[in-house]
Amino acid sequence: MKTFFTNLASAAALAALMFACAPTPPTPPADFIAGDSNLVNVASSWTRIAGPYIGTAGPDGSFLGAAHRVGDTTVTRTVYSRNNFVSISKDASSGRYPVGTMLVKLFRRRTDSTVIGGSMMVKRGGDFAAANATGWEWINLNASGQVATRFRSDSAAAACVGCHRTRMSNDYSWSLK
């Protein structure tokens, strides 16, 4: 009997210790601003969610027109995702993906796989672009895979939003599932 209670006490102590040591899940900030420090090792450490596509292959490829270098068949497009705070799943009631979600599409030269640019969507949160883009920020990346242009206001992002709004049923994204 004594052994039983001793074991019970040790089990309880162990459970308390495990609980105390469990890492606290990080909380996404009210407004998540991504920068070059987030764009390190995208291809090797983020999740590849779509592609590589060439030309009009891929979802709604024929609708792309001149966007996303679709007319240049020497280039591939591959899409990666990452969220440092929570798993990327669509909220059932709002239909939105979580703050902190980053989507990067890298353009690569087919001959040697060199990255030659990219497009990015970042779920900012707060009241960023709340009016017509549910908080997404639209960004172009340069050949080093770093931030080149931020389309900060809703209207400056019109070209991006103009197309991506056709995917409003999936919170403006093609590749997220």
Residue 97 sits in the site that holds ligand HEC (CB under 6 A): no
In whole angstroms, the minimum distance from the beta carbon of 67 to ligand HEC comes to 4
133 Cβ contact list (under 8 Å, min separation 6): 154, 157, 161, 164, 172
Distance from chain centroid for Cα 61 = 21
Residue 138 sits in the site that holds ligand HEC (CB under 6 A): yes
Per-residue b or e along 41-63, where b marks 16 or more CB atoms closer than 10 Å to that residue's CB: ebeeebeebbbbbbbeebeeeee
133 secondary structure, DSSP code: H
- Provide the mask over 58-87, with x wherever binding to ligand HEC is found by CB under 6 A and - wherever it is not: xxxx--xx-xx--------x-x--------
127 Cβ contact list (under 8 Å, min separation 6): none
Residue 146 sits in the site that holds ligand HEC (CB under 6 A): no
How many residues form the binding site for ligand HEC (CB under 6 A)?
Answer: 27
Are 139 and 160 spatial neighbours (Cβ–Cβ below 8 Å)? no
Residue 141 sits in the site that holds ligand HEC (CB under 6 A): no
Q: Which of 39, 76, 99, 105 binds ligand HEC (CB under 6 A)?
A: 105
Q: Where along the sequence are the contacts to ligand HEC (CB under 6 A)?
A: 53, 58-61, 64-65, 67-68, 77, 79, 103, 105, 119-121, 138-140, 159-160, 163-164, 173-176
